[in-house]
Chains A and B, each alone.
Chain A
Protein backbone atom coordinates (compact mmCIF):
# COMPACT_ATOMS: atom_id res chain seq x y z
CA UNK A 1 0.00 0.00 0.00
CA UNK A 2 2.88 2.36 0.78
CA UNK A 3 4.43 1.47 -2.55
CA UNK A 4 6.24 4.38 -4.15
CA UNK A 5 8.26 4.18 -7.35
CA UNK A 6 11.11 6.38 -8.58
CA UNK A 7 9.97 8.41 -11.59
CA UNK A 8 11.84 10.89 -13.78
CA UNK A 9 10.22 14.30 -14.15
CA UNK A 10 9.72 15.23 -17.81
CA UNK A 11 7.91 18.54 -17.40
CA UNK A 12 6.28 20.65 -14.70
CA UNK A 13 3.05 22.56 -15.14
CA UNK A 14 1.94 24.37 -11.98
CA UNK A 15 0.97 21.84 -9.30
CA UNK A 16 1.34 18.86 -11.66
CA UNK A 17 4.15 17.09 -13.50
CA UNK A 18 4.50 14.55 -16.29
CA UNK A 19 6.80 11.77 -15.14
CA UNK A 20 8.34 8.70 -16.69
CA UNK A 21 8.59 5.20 -15.19
CA UNK A 22 10.23 2.75 -17.57
CA UNK A 23 8.57 3.60 -20.89
CA UNK A 24 5.28 4.82 -19.47
CA UNK A 25 4.28 8.39 -18.72
CA UNK A 26 2.16 9.31 -15.70
CA UNK A 27 0.73 12.45 -14.13
CA UNK A 28 2.12 13.34 -10.73
CA UNK A 29 0.56 15.86 -8.38
CA UNK A 30 3.09 18.23 -6.82
CA UNK A 31 0.79 19.33 -3.99
CA UNK A 32 3.06 17.69 -1.41
CA UNK A 33 6.53 18.83 -2.52
CA UNK A 34 8.18 22.04 -3.69
CA UNK A 35 10.99 22.94 -6.08
CA UNK A 36 10.63 20.14 -8.59
CA UNK A 37 12.11 20.59 -12.06
CA UNK A 38 12.45 18.56 -15.24
CA UNK A 39 15.22 15.97 -14.89
CA UNK A 40 14.66 15.41 -11.14
CA UNK A 41 13.63 12.01 -9.83
CA UNK A 42 10.64 11.88 -7.48
CA UNK A 43 8.97 9.03 -5.59
CA UNK A 44 5.50 8.54 -7.04
CA UNK A 45 2.81 7.21 -4.70
CA UNK A 46 -0.83 6.92 -5.86
CA UNK A 47 -0.51 9.86 -8.24
CA UNK A 48 1.45 12.14 -5.91
CA UNK A 49 5.13 12.99 -5.70
CA UNK A 50 5.81 12.37 -2.00
CA UNK A 51 9.55 13.09 -1.93
CA UNK A 52 12.46 13.90 -4.21
CA UNK A 53 15.22 11.35 -4.76
CA UNK A 54 18.60 12.70 -3.67
CA UNK A 55 21.13 11.67 -6.31
CA UNK A 56 24.22 12.50 -4.26
CA UNK A 57 23.02 10.38 -1.36
CA UNK A 58 22.22 7.55 -3.75
CA UNK A 59 25.70 7.62 -5.27
CA UNK A 60 27.36 7.77 -1.85
CA UNK A 61 25.30 4.84 -0.50
CA UNK A 62 26.19 2.79 -3.57
CA UNK A 63 29.89 3.60 -3.16
CA UNK A 64 29.86 2.47 0.49
CA UNK A 65 27.97 -0.68 -0.35
CA UNK A 66 30.31 -1.64 -3.13
CA UNK A 67 33.15 -1.21 -0.66
CA UNK A 68 31.49 -3.48 1.94
CA UNK A 69 30.69 -6.09 -0.66
CA UNK A 70 34.11 -5.88 -2.31
CA UNK A 71 32.18 -5.49 -5.53
CA UNK A 72 33.53 -3.59 -8.50
CA UNK A 73 30.57 -2.11 -10.40
CA UNK A 74 32.78 -1.54 -13.45
CA UNK A 75 33.71 -5.20 -13.85
Chain B
Protein backbone atom coordinates (compact mmCIF):
# COMPACT_ATOMS: atom_id res chain seq x y z
CA UNK B 1 0.00 0.00 0.00
CA UNK B 2 1.15 3.56 -0.70
CA UNK B 3 -1.74 5.10 1.25
CA UNK B 4 -2.81 7.43 -1.55
CA UNK B 5 -4.02 5.69 -4.72
CA UNK B 6 -6.16 3.16 -2.85
CA UNK B 7 -8.11 6.06 -1.33
CA UNK B 8 -8.94 7.69 -4.66
CA UNK B 9 -10.68 4.82 -6.44
CA UNK B 10 -13.79 6.05 -8.18
CA UNK B 11 -15.78 2.80 -7.88
CA UNK B 12 -15.18 2.77 -4.17
CA UNK B 13 -16.30 6.41 -3.81
CA UNK B 14 -19.43 5.66 -5.82
CA UNK B 15 -20.15 2.55 -3.73
CA UNK B 16 -19.95 4.51 -0.49
CA UNK B 17 -22.09 7.29 -2.03
CA UNK B 18 -24.78 4.68 -2.84
CA UNK B 19 -24.78 3.49 0.75
CA UNK B 20 -25.10 7.09 2.04
CA UNK B 21 -28.04 7.71 -0.32
CA UNK B 22 -29.69 4.49 0.79
CA UNK B 23 -29.67 5.25 4.52
CA UNK B 24 -29.86 9.07 4.69
CA UNK B 25 -33.35 10.25 5.65
CA UNK B 26 -32.81 13.17 8.05
CA UNK B 27 -31.61 16.53 6.79
CA UNK B 28 -28.21 17.06 8.32
CA UNK B 29 -25.47 19.60 8.13
CA UNK B 30 -21.84 18.59 8.75
CA UNK B 31 -18.96 20.94 9.30
CA UNK B 32 -15.49 20.09 8.07
CA UNK B 33 -13.23 22.01 10.39
CA UNK B 34 -9.97 21.60 8.55
CA UNK B 35 -8.92 23.56 5.49
CA UNK B 36 -7.38 20.38 4.08
CA UNK B 37 -10.82 18.76 4.16
CA UNK B 38 -12.39 21.77 2.43
CA UNK B 39 -9.81 21.39 -0.33
CA UNK B 40 -10.39 17.66 -0.74
CA UNK B 41 -14.17 18.13 -0.95
CA UNK B 42 -13.88 20.68 -3.74
CA UNK B 43 -10.94 19.13 -5.54
CA UNK B 44 -12.72 15.80 -5.88
CA UNK B 45 -16.23 17.31 -6.21
CA UNK B 46 -17.55 15.25 -3.31
CA UNK B 47 -20.65 17.49 -3.00
CA UNK B 48 -21.91 15.97 -6.23
CA UNK B 49 -21.95 12.45 -4.73
CA UNK B 50 -24.09 13.39 -1.74
CA UNK B 51 -27.89 13.27 -1.48
CA UNK B 52 -29.77 16.58 -0.91
CA UNK B 53 -30.26 15.57 2.74
CA UNK B 54 -26.55 15.98 3.54
CA UNK B 55 -24.97 19.41 3.38
CA UNK B 56 -21.38 20.34 4.13
CA UNK B 57 -20.17 23.54 5.73
CA UNK B 58 -16.61 24.85 5.97
CA UNK B 59 -15.21 25.84 9.35
CA UNK B 60 -12.37 27.91 10.77
CA UNK B 61 -9.61 25.37 10.15
CA UNK B 62 -7.13 27.44 8.21
CA UNK B 63 -4.58 28.96 10.62
CA UNK B 64 -3.51 31.60 8.11
CA UNK B 65 -7.12 32.75 7.74
CA UNK B 66 -7.93 33.00 11.45
CA UNK B 67 -4.72 34.72 12.49
CA UNK B 68 -5.61 37.93 10.76
CA UNK B 69 -3.77 41.07 9.89
CA UNK B 70 -2.41 41.88 13.32
CA UNK B 71 0.01 38.97 13.15
CA UNK B 72 1.33 40.03 9.73
CA UNK B 73 1.61 43.66 10.89
CA UNK B 74 3.59 42.52 13.92
CA UNK B 75 5.86 40.29 11.80
CA UNK B 76 6.54 43.22 9.47
CA UNK B 77 7.31 45.51 12.43
CA UNK B 78 9.92 42.98 13.57
CA UNK B 79 11.57 42.43 10.22
CA UNK B 80 11.96 46.19 9.72
CA UNK B 81 14.31 46.23 12.69
CA UNK B 82 18.04 46.17 12.07
CA UNK B 83 19.74 42.78 12.15
CA UNK B 84 16.59 40.66 11.89
CA UNK B 85 16.14 37.66 9.60
CA UNK B 86 12.52 36.60 9.45
CA UNK B 87 11.79 32.96 8.58
CA UNK B 88 8.33 31.75 7.63
CA UNK B 89 6.36 28.93 6.06
CA UNK B 90 5.40 29.84 2.50
CA UNK B 91 1.74 29.99 3.52
CA UNK B 92 2.16 33.43 5.07
CA UNK B 93 4.21 35.22 2.46
CA UNK B 94 1.36 36.76 0.49
CA UNK B 95 -1.12 37.38 3.30
CA UNK B 96 -2.06 41.07 3.31
CA UNK B 97 -1.44 42.94 6.54
CA UNK B 98 -3.17 46.29 6.99
CA UNK B 99 -0.68 48.11 4.73
CA UNK B 100 1.83 45.63 3.36
CA UNK B 101 2.69 41.93 3.09
CA UNK B 102 5.85 39.91 3.74
CA UNK B 103 6.22 39.47 -0.01
CA UNK B 104 6.20 43.23 -0.59
CA UNK B 105 8.62 43.80 2.28
CA UNK B 106 10.96 41.17 0.88
CA UNK B 107 10.83 42.81 -2.54
CA UNK B 108 11.74 46.07 -0.79
CA UNK B 109 14.93 44.42 0.44
CA UNK B 110 14.15 43.02 3.89
CA UNK B 111 15.63 39.65 4.85
CA UNK B 112 12.63 37.32 4.81
CA UNK B 113 13.26 33.65 4.07
CA UNK B 114 10.78 30.90 3.34
CA UNK B 115 11.52 27.64 5.12
CA UNK B 116 9.97 24.22 4.62
CA UNK B 117 10.82 23.15 8.16
CA UNK B 118 11.36 25.16 11.34
CA UNK B 119 14.65 23.28 11.74
CA UNK B 120 16.01 25.28 8.78
CA UNK B 121 15.48 28.38 10.92
CA UNK B 122 17.74 26.88 13.58
CA UNK B 123 20.38 26.33 10.92
CA UNK B 124 20.02 29.93 9.72
CA UNK B 125 20.40 31.13 13.32
CA UNK B 126 23.53 29.02 13.74
CA UNK B 127 25.10 30.44 10.57
CA UNK B 128 24.18 34.06 11.39
CA UNK B 129 25.14 34.55 15.03
CA UNK B 130 25.07 38.36 14.71
CA UNK B 131 21.42 38.38 13.56
CA UNK B 132 18.18 37.77 15.39
CA UNK B 133 16.38 34.99 13.53
CA UNK B 134 12.62 35.18 14.10
CA UNK B 135 10.45 32.25 13.02
CA UNK B 136 6.75 32.89 12.48
CA UNK B 137 5.08 30.09 14.41
CA UNK B 138 1.66 29.48 12.95
CA UNK B 139 -0.65 26.49 12.91
CA UNK B 140 -2.77 24.26 15.11
CA UNK B 141 -1.82 21.23 17.19
CA UNK B 142 -0.38 19.51 14.12
CA UNK B 143 2.26 22.18 13.61
CA UNK B 144 2.80 23.63 17.09
CA UNK B 145 4.81 20.60 18.34
CA UNK B 146 7.32 21.23 15.54
CA UNK B 147 7.89 24.75 16.87
CA UNK B 148 8.10 23.32 20.38
CA UNK B 149 10.74 20.83 19.20
CA UNK B 150 12.74 23.64 17.59
CA UNK B 151 12.62 25.76 20.76
CA UNK B 152 13.71 22.77 22.85
CA UNK B 153 16.57 22.14 20.40
CA UNK B 154 17.58 25.82 20.49
CA UNK B 155 17.67 25.62 24.30
CA UNK B 156 19.82 22.49 24.11
CA UNK B 157 22.20 24.07 21.57
CA UNK B 158 22.18 27.40 23.47
CA UNK B 159 21.18 29.13 20.26
CA UNK B 160 20.27 32.45 21.85
CA UNK B 161 19.61 34.28 18.56
CA UNK B 162 16.69 32.02 17.56
CA UNK B 163 13.26 33.42 18.41
CA UNK B 164 9.62 32.65 17.69
CA UNK B 165 6.65 34.92 17.15
CA UNK B 166 3.83 32.55 18.08
CA UNK B 167 0.37 32.63 16.55
CA UNK B 168 -0.16 28.97 17.35
CA UNK B 169 -3.72 28.08 18.22
CA UNK B 170 -5.63 25.05 19.46
CA UNK B 171 -8.79 23.57 17.99
CA UNK B 172 -11.21 22.44 20.74
CA UNK B 173 -12.23 25.88 22.13
CA UNK B 174 -13.13 27.23 18.69
CA UNK B 175 -15.23 24.17 17.84
CA UNK B 176 -17.24 24.71 21.01
CA UNK B 177 -17.40 28.48 20.49
CA UNK B 178 -18.94 27.94 17.04
CA UNK B 179 -21.66 25.69 18.38
CA UNK B 180 -22.42 28.04 21.27
CA UNK B 181 -22.44 30.89 18.75
CA UNK B 182 -25.43 29.29 17.04
CA UNK B 183 -23.90 27.64 13.98
CA UNK B 184 -26.46 24.98 13.08
CA UNK B 185 -24.69 21.70 12.55
CA UNK B 186 -25.30 18.07 13.45
CA UNK B 187 -21.76 16.84 13.37
CA UNK B 188 -18.11 17.54 12.82
CA UNK B 189 -15.81 15.96 10.27
CA UNK B 190 -12.90 16.36 12.68
CA UNK B 191 -9.36 17.22 11.59
CA UNK B 192 -7.25 14.08 11.09
CA UNK B 193 -3.77 15.44 11.60
CA UNK B 194 -4.67 17.67 14.56
CA UNK B 195 -6.18 14.59 16.19
CA UNK B 196 -3.13 12.46 15.28
CA UNK B 197 -1.35 14.69 17.80
CA UNK B 198 -4.10 15.43 20.36
CA UNK B 199 -5.96 12.11 20.46
CA UNK B 200 -9.74 11.96 20.58
CA UNK B 201 -10.16 13.03 24.22
CA UNK B 202 -10.58 16.65 23.09
CA UNK B 203 -13.98 15.84 21.54
CA UNK B 204 -15.47 13.83 24.37
CA UNK B 205 -18.10 16.37 25.55
CA UNK B 206 -19.40 17.21 22.08
CA UNK B 207 -21.87 14.30 21.67
CA UNK B 208 -23.36 14.60 25.16
CA UNK B 209 -23.34 18.37 25.65
CA UNK B 210 -24.34 19.38 22.13
CA UNK B 211 -25.77 16.22 20.53
CA UNK B 212 -23.06 16.33 17.87
CA UNK B 213 -21.51 13.43 16.02
CA UNK B 214 -17.74 13.56 15.57
CA UNK B 215 -15.75 11.49 13.08
CA UNK B 216 -12.01 12.03 12.79
CA UNK B 217 -11.29 11.87 9.09
CA UNK B 218 -8.43 11.33 6.69
CA UNK B 219 -7.97 13.57 3.68
CA UNK B 220 -8.40 11.37 0.63
CA UNK B 221 -11.81 11.25 -1.07
CA UNK B 222 -12.52 7.71 0.12
CA UNK B 223 -11.67 8.75 3.68
CA UNK B 224 -14.02 11.69 3.53
CA UNK B 225 -16.90 9.72 2.01
CA UNK B 226 -16.48 7.04 4.66
CA UNK B 227 -16.49 9.70 7.40
CA UNK B 228 -19.70 11.18 6.02
CA UNK B 229 -21.23 7.69 5.93
CA UNK B 230 -20.21 7.11 9.56
CA UNK B 231 -21.80 10.43 10.60
CA UNK B 232 -24.99 9.68 8.66
CA UNK B 233 -25.21 6.29 10.37
CA UNK B 234 -24.72 7.84 13.83
CA UNK B 235 -27.27 10.57 13.25
CA UNK B 236 -29.88 8.31 11.63
CA UNK B 237 -29.63 6.04 14.67
CA UNK B 238 -29.89 9.08 16.97
CA UNK B 239 -26.62 8.05 18.62
CA UNK B 240 -24.01 10.74 18.09
CA UNK B 241 -20.55 9.75 19.32
CA UNK B 242 -16.84 10.14 18.68
CA UNK B 243 -15.37 7.76 16.11
CA UNK B 244 -12.12 7.54 14.19
CA UNK B 245 -12.29 6.91 10.46
CA UNK B 246 -8.58 7.69 10.00
CA UNK B 247 -7.50 4.59 11.94
CA UNK B 248 -4.27 4.16 10.02
CA UNK B 249 -2.86 7.39 11.43
CA UNK B 250 -4.91 8.44 14.47
CA UNK B 251 -4.56 6.66 17.79
CA UNK B 252 -6.99 7.27 20.65
CA UNK B 253 -4.34 8.80 22.88
CA UNK B 254 -2.69 10.80 20.08
CA UNK B 255 1.05 11.36 19.88
CA UNK B 256 2.06 11.34 23.52
CA UNK B 257 5.65 12.40 22.86
CA UNK B 258 4.58 15.42 20.79
CA UNK B 259 1.96 16.41 23.38
CA UNK B 260 4.52 16.26 26.17
CA UNK B 261 6.90 18.48 24.24
CA UNK B 262 4.08 20.89 23.41
CA UNK B 263 3.20 21.15 27.09
CA UNK B 264 6.84 21.61 28.10
CA UNK B 265 7.30 24.61 25.81
CA UNK B 266 3.85 26.20 25.50
CA UNK B 267 0.94 27.13 27.74
CA UNK B 268 -2.60 28.17 26.85
CA UNK B 269 -3.62 31.80 26.58
CA UNK B 270 -6.75 33.67 25.53
CA UNK B 271 -6.41 34.40 21.84
CA UNK B 272 -8.01 36.44 19.07
CA UNK B 273 -9.53 34.65 16.08
CA UNK B 274 -10.42 36.55 12.97
CA UNK B 275 -14.19 36.58 12.59
CA UNK B 276 -14.74 35.04 16.00
CA UNK B 277 -13.05 37.48 18.38
CA UNK B 278 -11.38 36.53 21.65
CA UNK B 279 -11.73 32.89 22.65
CA UNK B 280 -10.57 31.88 26.14
CA UNK B 281 -7.57 29.52 26.28
CA UNK B 282 -7.48 29.00 22.53
CA UNK B 283 -3.93 30.13 21.78
CA UNK B 284 -0.42 29.00 22.71
CA UNK B 285 2.23 31.19 24.27
CA UNK B 286 5.79 30.24 25.09
CA UNK B 287 6.30 29.37 28.77
CA UNK B 288 8.45 31.74 30.83
CA UNK B 289 11.12 29.03 31.15
CA UNK B 290 11.81 29.53 27.44
CA UNK B 291 11.18 33.30 27.35
CA UNK B 292 14.59 34.04 25.79
CA UNK B 293 13.17 32.48 22.60
CA UNK B 294 9.92 34.47 22.77
CA UNK B 295 10.48 37.56 20.65
CA UNK B 296 7.46 39.29 22.18
CA UNK B 297 9.09 38.98 25.60
CA UNK B 298 12.60 40.07 24.71
CA UNK B 299 11.71 42.74 22.18
CA UNK B 300 8.13 43.97 22.46
CA UNK B 301 6.84 46.04 19.52
CA UNK B 302 3.85 48.31 19.52
CA UNK B 303 1.56 47.63 16.56
CA UNK B 304 -1.69 49.58 16.14
CA UNK B 305 -4.87 47.50 16.12
CA UNK B 306 -5.75 46.62 12.55
CA UNK B 307 -9.18 46.89 11.02
CA UNK B 308 -10.82 44.39 8.67
CA UNK B 309 -10.86 45.40 4.99
CA UNK B 310 -14.12 47.04 3.86
CA UNK B 311 -16.72 44.71 2.39
CA UNK B 312 -14.78 41.54 3.30
CA UNK B 313 -16.92 38.89 4.99
CA UNK B 314 -14.10 36.46 5.91
CA UNK B 315 -15.36 36.53 9.49
CA UNK B 316 -18.82 35.21 8.57
CA UNK B 317 -17.29 32.65 6.21
CA UNK B 318 -14.95 31.34 8.90
CA UNK B 319 -17.96 30.84 11.18
CA UNK B 320 -19.84 28.90 8.53
CA UNK B 321 -22.57 31.58 8.40
CA UNK B 322 -21.91 32.66 4.79
CA UNK B 323 -20.40 31.02 1.73
CA UNK B 324 -17.61 32.67 -0.27
CA UNK B 325 -20.00 33.17 -3.18
CA UNK B 326 -22.18 35.35 -0.88
CA UNK B 327 -19.40 37.95 -0.74
CA UNK B 328 -19.67 40.94 -3.10
CA UNK B 329 -15.89 41.04 -3.49
CA UNK B 330 -15.55 37.34 -4.39
CA UNK B 331 -13.92 36.74 -7.79
CA UNK B 332 -14.26 40.46 -8.61
CA UNK B 333 -12.22 42.72 -6.34
CA UNK B 334 -10.85 39.70 -4.42
CA UNK B 335 -8.99 36.94 -6.27
CA UNK B 336 -6.03 34.69 -5.42
CA UNK B 337 -3.67 36.93 -7.42
CA UNK B 338 -4.93 40.09 -5.67
CA UNK B 339 -6.56 38.96 -2.43
CA UNK B 340 -8.45 41.23 -0.04
CA UNK B 341 -9.24 38.80 2.76
CA UNK B 342 -7.24 36.00 4.32
CA UNK B 343 -9.65 33.29 3.15
CA UNK B 344 -8.60 34.08 -0.44
CA UNK B 345 -4.86 34.12 0.27
CA UNK B 346 -4.24 30.81 1.84
CA UNK B 347 -4.47 27.93 -0.63
CA UNK B 348 -6.73 26.14 1.80
CA UNK B 349 -8.88 29.14 2.66
CA UNK B 350 -12.54 28.63 1.75
CA UNK B 351 -12.56 31.51 -0.74
CA UNK B 352 -9.42 30.37 -2.57
CA UNK B 353 -10.80 26.83 -2.73
CA UNK B 354 -14.16 28.02 -4.07
CA UNK B 355 -12.35 30.23 -6.58
CA UNK B 356 -10.08 27.48 -7.85
CA UNK B 357 -12.82 24.88 -8.26
CA UNK B 358 -15.73 27.19 -9.15
CA UNK B 359 -18.03 26.10 -11.95
Contact = CB atoms under 8 A, between A and B. Distances in A.
Interface residues of B, number: 57
Contacts, number: 140
Contacts of B286: none
| A interface, over-half SS | mixed
Contacts of A58: 1, 3, 247-248
A60 interface: yes
A4 interface: yes
Contacts of B35: 1-2
A14 to B, nearest CB: 13
B282 interface: no
Contacts of B197: 50-51
Interface residues of A, number: 36
A45 B142 contact: yes
Interface in A37-59: 41, 43, 45-48, 50-51, 53-55, 57-59
A47 B19 CA distance: 38
Interface in B4-34: 4, 6, 9, 11-12, 14-16, 18-19, 34
B11 A50 contact: no
B143 A53 contact: no
A69 B348 CA distance: 30
A70 B16 CA distance: 9
Interface in A2-45: 2-4, 6, 8, 27, 29, 31-34, 41, 43, 45
Contacts of B142: 1-2, 4, 45, 50
A64 to B, nearest CB: 9
Given A6-B3, A68-B19, A46 B89 contact: yes
A47 B116 contact: yes
Interface in B257-300: 257-258, 261
Interface of B: 1-4, 6, 9, 11-12, 14-16, 18-19, 34-36, 61-64, 89, 91, 116-120, 138-140, 142-143, 145-146, 149, 153, 191, 193-194, 196-197, 219, 222, 226, 229, 245, 247-251, 255, 257-258, 261, 346, 348
Interface of A: 1-4, 6, 8, 27, 29, 31-34, 41, 43, 45-48, 50-51, 53-55, 57-62, 65-66, 68-71, 73
